[in-house]
Amino acid sequence: MPKVLLDNVSKLFLSDSGPLQVLSNVTLPIEEGEFLCVLGASGCGKSTLLNLVAGLEKPDHGRVLVGGKEVSGPGPDRVVMFQEAALFPWLTAVQNVAFGLKMAGVGRRERQERAMELLSLVKLSSFANSWIHELSGGMRQRVALAAALALDPEILLMDEPFAALDAQTRDQLHVEIESIWEQTGKTIIFVTHNVREAVRLGTRVLLMSPRSGGICREYPINLPRHRHLEDVELVKIASVLRDDLRDEMRGSGVADV
C-alpha cells in the first residue's frame, strides 16, 4: 500500500476570469521513503497538490489517503515547510522549533531539549535565543526545517522552501535535507520550479502542467546519491526535463518558464 495516495482527485478554483481546473482526475501513489519532487511553472497546481496532502485544502472530487486513511485536516504526521519561513516573530528560534511540541502537550524540559538537538542538527545552536528578524533568510529556513522535524512527521511537505535563497545557501540546504532524508527515511514531497533542484534531490520527478490538469510526465531518477548540481549526468537529465516542461508550457499558452 502506498504511503500517500491521491485517488482520482479534482480541484477547482474560482477566479475572476472564471473557474480554473487545476487538478483533474489525478491519481498518484507515493511510496514510503520516497523523495518525490514536483516540478512545474506557477499556477500548475503543484502547491495545491501539496496542500491537499497537508489537509489545508479539500478535494472537490476524489480522495486523499495517507497511510490508508482519508485526510480530513492537518495532522502532526504531515508537516509543511513553506517557501517563506513560517516562523512566529514573537518567539525566539528555539521557541519556534519547540512550538509544535508545545501544542502536542510535550513537557517544557523535554521540548527544550529536543528543540536544541534539532537546532544543532541544522547548525544553529548558537542562535537559539535570537529573534526571527535577526536571522538571515537561509537561517530562517533552517529554523523552519528544525521546527518541521520537531514533530517527527512521517511525511515532510516542502513548498518551494529554498526558492528565495541564494545559490550557496541552497546548495548547503540540499546537502542537509538529503542527509536528513537518508537518516530518517521520511517520505518527502518537494515542490519546486527549479529543474536541476528537482533532479538533484528526487528519487522521482513529476512534471505538472495546467494544460493536462495535473501530472503530465514522470521521471524516475536513478543517479547515485550525493549528487551535485553540476554533475554531467544530472545536467543532461535536467535539460531533457526542461525541454519537456517548455513543450508543456507552449502547449498551454503560458510563456516563459
Partner 1 sequence: MSERSIIQDRERVEALLRKRVRERRSELLRKSGARAAFFVLLILVWQGLAAAGLWSELLFPHPRQVLDSLVVTFGDGSMPLAMLASIRRLAIGYSLSLLIGIPLGLLLGRIKLLDNTLGTMALGLQALPSICWMPLAVLWFGLSEVSMQFVVVMGAVMAIILAVRDGVKNIPRLYIRASRVLGATGWKGYLYVILPASMPALLTGARLGWSFAWRALMAAELIYVGSGLGSTLMMGRELHDMPLVIATMIVIVVIGLLADRLLFGTLEKRLHRRWGVSGG
Positions touching partner 1 (CB under 8 A) are: 54, 56, 73-76, 78-80, 82, 84, 86, 88-91, 99-100, 102-104, 131-134, 147, 151
Give the residue with the Cβ less far from partner 1, 98 or 237: 98
CB of 145 to partner 1, least distance (A): 13
Burial environment of residue 39 by CB neighbours within 10 A (0 to 12, 13 to 18, 19 or more):
buried
User: In a 3-state reduction of DSSP, which class is residue 249?
Assistant: helix
* Cross-strand partners of 206: 38, 218
Judge contact between 56 and 64, C-beta under 8 A.
Answer: no
Concatenating the DSSP letter of every residue in 183-213 gives HH--EEEEEES-HHHHHHH-SEEEEEETTTT
Strand pairing of 4-15 and 61-66?
A: antiparallel
CB of 91 to partner 1, least distance (A): 8
Give the residue with the Cβ less far from partner 1, 56 or 234: 56
CB of 196 to partner 1, least distance (A): 27
Give the residue with the Cβ less far from partner 1, 161 or 213: 161
Q: Which three cell numbers stand for residue 60?
A: 472537490
CB of 131 to partner 1, least distance (A): 6
| Rounded to 5°, angle at Cα 138 from 200 and 108 | 110
CB of 23 to partner 1, least distance (A): 19
Give the residue with the Cβ less far from partner 1, 72 or 222: 72
Distance CA 121, CA 144 (A): 12
Give the residue with the Cβ less far from partner 1, 86 or 128: 86
